[in-house]
Structure 1
Amino acid sequence: MSTDRQIIHMDQDAFFVSVEVRKNSQLTGKPVIIGSLSDRGVVTSCSYEARKFGVHSAMPARLARQLCPHGIWIRGNMDEYSKASHEITEIIKQQVPLLEKASIDEHYIDMTGMDKHYGTLKCAKEIRANVIRETGLPISFGLSVNKTVSKMATNECKPNGELSVAKTGVQPFLNPLSIRKIPGLGEKTFIKLSDMGIRRIHTLSEVSPEYMTSILGKNGIWLLQKAKGIDESPVIPYHEAKTIGTQSTFHQDSIDVDTINHLLTSMVMELAFELRQNRKQTACITVTLRYSTFETVTKQAKVPYTALDRVLIVKTKELFKQLYQKRLLIRLVGVRLSDLVSGFEQIDLYSESEEQYSLCQAMDKIRRRFGPGSVKLASSIDLNL
């Protein structure tokens, strides 16, 4: 794959905070913190003003209050943030040939081959201006030869900025940056490399592949390529976003609604676990119902981005109740989750109570050790369909 690609990365600036500021202009320029209102919770997002005090996402709320005692705390509204995200996606989608929605507030655009017809930088500026004009929300973009460099360019020009890094300028742009700026580099790897004196991308880029492999295995080569500005990962079309689903055909056609609801609960829990394992959330649920007559009906609903069991179970049962109108025997039920995007923790740290989030974490830990079917809600056990 050629490195002469034209990839735009667009990222909303402090997205959740920006949506709150759009509703209430008095929050402009204030240290706004979104997250749990209790000290046992965590910060989901915060304004740049709050970040000056050292506050950051995933920080314990108690510590954030100590660092920024005058911070304005908001519980947050996932439904509003999801609607704003869909709104932005639709605006961008209308103007580009190939779009990937990487998370609730990030998009990649592949404009390769379009530069000879219409300047890519000019196009990126117009898209950004359209989003700001039509939504009132700030957005930044980076333009470069691949996804990694364009994302890093965006991060360097935020908030509310634009940065283009040409092919010849990739290494000069990367060299002075901290290795911490490389997308996907975890805290443990950062500490390990820092202890070895590798703190800047320039230093990392000069390490031999053999040495990187010896200390980090295959991830060492991946990281070395990032440091050299190499990334051939494609922009994945948004309309081809992966879906996950499951269905069950009964041994005997059934009319036992309670038992079917228990089965749906079990199915949703398995799908939600798969979402969290892949660090994804869903914004759309589809329930399928097949009667004994082989007539098949479906019903779909949008939900705020989530990967938590409770939200998905409640909505799935609502859809089943709306679907099951004929009171005929049922042959099959199915559940599908779609409109998947990355970033489970960012969304769900506050979309439900801390107890719900902690419960999911505890249950997932058991599942990873003993298998996906090792944990179930009491209501979903002993199904005899």
Structure 2
Amino acid sequence: MAERKQKGRIIFHIDMNCFYASVEQAHDPTLKGKAIAIAGNPKERRGILVTCSYEARAKGVYTTMAVWEAKRKCPELILLPPNFERYRIASKAIFDILRTYTELVEPVSIDEGYIDVTELVKGREAIELAETIQKRILNELDLPSSIGIAPNKFLAKTASDMKKPMGITVLRKRELPNILWSLPVIEMHGVGESTAKKLNELKINTIGDLAQASEAFLKSNLGKNGARLKDRANGIDNREVDPNSIYDTKSVGNSTTLPIDLVEWDEVRKTIDGLCERVAKRLSAKNLAGHTVSIQIRDADWHNSSRSKTFSNAIYKKSDILEIALDLTKKHWHGEPVRLLGVTVSNVIDRKETAEQLSIFNYEQHAKEEPIIQVVEQLQKKFGKEIISKGMKEKKKPNYESQTSFSKDFLEDHKD
């Protein structure tokens, strides 16, 4: 009898079409059929388009385009400020619909997620179920979506991108050579500009080149990520649909697009100081500490660079984060005009799990604490470990400071 785990999986990737714009059109039907865009403050340079409707895209407007340029291309473009609360309500309603079919639902962003329907359908029933889900979301919420159907998450994600809006696409591993392999590597989900550039330098230009490249060669040049990318190019992805992933916080960061280019160190330092303060507050609110500090710099020509430093001891204090962020910036910023700055603390863990490692710099302090530690251990042995612990165990603060970014905040709506 074949083992159950050998059964092929059926994974859906649900991707909402022009989500913010679609929510606005559902909220105000007079906007339907019109070129609309969601944007920041158009009076500042940070006024860029967060998303736009398909009617706007037909006029050459696209996401991340500057407001002034979008208006030049499409004078009739209707600009709307973002209404994040409205989008969160719509997102929760979408995932509530998905959970009426199965508990195996994994939100990955406010407008997309995976569901594992292996136990619900077989064969062509998968397409019928996808059609039912798509119609329900459209009829009940007035929101269009695309659905990818595949045996794993990577292929399902790839499939959902292949037909928009309102598409349903099935993608099988055996179809990859004909459908994907001739495309440039930048077209593959999970490959960004930086990785694509590295691959091109290695003479790997298409997804097919990547699929057929030597794993040893890829590992030697790209590390573990090289082997992972080769697997993806061959349609291999063993990740499960994990409903509990919403509880995983991997990083806490903050970035800002600047009203004017910064060229003076004092202004750069002041901006980084503010970013580190916000990151430290959010780490505190979530009771987290992290092992890695990263900085992001985008110059006036939109060139992005990032640098990071990892430590054995997890940190969370603003002073520690600031010291590292400033040191990284001094080493890697060469005076070019700065358009955007970001600071992130990653590889985070719950602060109560942190354990400072002894070193020649702190052993004396630990020696002083030794008598106290012995008393604590005696109390714990007699009354239980929860009777006393090192430091203060605070409840996580459910306020603004606990928010990392809107794209992650929506996950709070899915937690029990």
TM-score category of the 2 structures, normalised to the smaller one: 0.5 to 0.7
Whether 1:334 aligns to 2:395 is yes
Per-residue deviation, 1:99: 0.8
The Cα offsets for residues 331-358 of structure 1, whole Å up to 9 and x where unpaired, read as 97522569xxx9947689xxxxxxxxxx
Deviates more, 1:185-194 or 1:167-176: 167-176
Deviates more, 1:38-47 or 1:143-152: 38-47
The one of 95, 105, 114 aligned to 1:99 = 105
Equivalence for 1:134:
140
Paired residues of 2:160 and 2:168 also in contact (CA < 8 A): yes
The one of 11, 17, 25 aligned to 2:15 = 11
Equivalence for 2:35:
31
Whether 1:61 aligns to 2:75 is no
Equivalence for 1:199:
205
Equivalence for 2:81:
75
CA distance in 2, matches of 1:343, 1:334: 17
Paired residues of 2:103 and 2:243 also in contact (CA < 8 A): no
CA distance in 2, matches of 1:122, 1:275: 46
Equivalence for 1:382:
none
Paired residues of 1:7 and 1:147 also in contact (CA < 8 A): yes
**What TM-score results when the alignment is normalised by the length of structure 2?**
0.58
In structure 2, give the amino acid aligned to 1:46: C
Larger radius of gyration: 2
In structure 1, give the amino acid aligned to 2:284: E
The one of 48, 57, 62 aligned to 1:51 = 57
Equivalence for 2:247:
242
The Cα offsets for residues 135-165 of structure 1, whole Å up to 9 and x where unpaired, read as 1110110000100110110001111111012
Per-residue deviation, 1:194: 3.5
Structure 2: 5+ residue stretches without partners: 250-278, 294-391, 410-416
Paired residues of 1:154 and 1:162 also in contact (CA < 8 A): yes
SS in 1 for 2:396: strand
The Cα offsets for residues 302-353 of structure 1, whole Å up to 9 and x where unpaired, read as xxxxxxxxxxxxxxxxxxxxxxxxxxxxx97522569xxx9947689xxxxx
Equivalence for 1:153:
159
Structure 1: 5+ residue stretches without partners: 245-264, 279-330, 349-385
Q: CA RMSD in A?
A: 3.7
CA distance in 1, matches of 2:287, 2:66: 24
Q: Relative to structure 1, is the Cα distance of residues 215 and 126 closer, same or farther in structure 2, using a 3 angstrom cutoff?
A: same
Deviates more, 1:145-154 or 1:32-41: 32-41
Deviates more, 1:64-73 or 1:9-18: 64-73
Paired residues of 1:243 and 1:337 also in contact (CA < 8 A): no
Paired residues of 2:11 and 2:151 also in contact (CA < 8 A): yes
Count of equivalent residues: 276
CA distance in 2, matches of 1:177, 1:11: 22
Deviates more, 1:188-197 or 1:92-101: 188-197
**What TM-score results when the alignment is normalised by the length of structure 1?**
0.62
Paired residues of 2:287 and 2:394 also in contact (CA < 8 A): no
Paired residues of 2:138 and 2:144 also in contact (CA < 8 A): yes
SS in 2 for 1:234: coil
> Which structure 2 residues correspond to residues 273-284 of structure 1 after superposition, within 5 A?
none
The Cα offsets for residues 11-39 of structure 1, whole Å up to 9 and x where unpaired, read as 11000000111122332233321111324
The Cα offsets for residues 112-141 of structure 1, whole Å up to 9 and x where unpaired, read as 243349922221221111111111110110
CA distance in 2, matches of 1:333, 1:17: 40
Per-residue deviation, 1:227: 0.7
In structure 2, give the amino acid aligned to 1:93: R
Per-residue deviation, 1:275: 11
The one of 169, 175, 180 aligned to 2:181 = 175
CA distance in 2, matches of 1:73, 1:275: 39
Per-residue deviation, 1:67: 4.2
The Cα offsets for residues 278-303 of structure 1, whole Å up to 9 and x where unpaired, read as 9xxxxxxxxxxxxxxxxxxxxxxxxx
Deviates more, 1:195-204 or 1:214-223: 195-204
Per-residue deviation, 1:72: 1.7
Name which structure has the greater RCO, CA cutoff 8 Å, separation 6+: 1
Equivalence for 2:284:
270
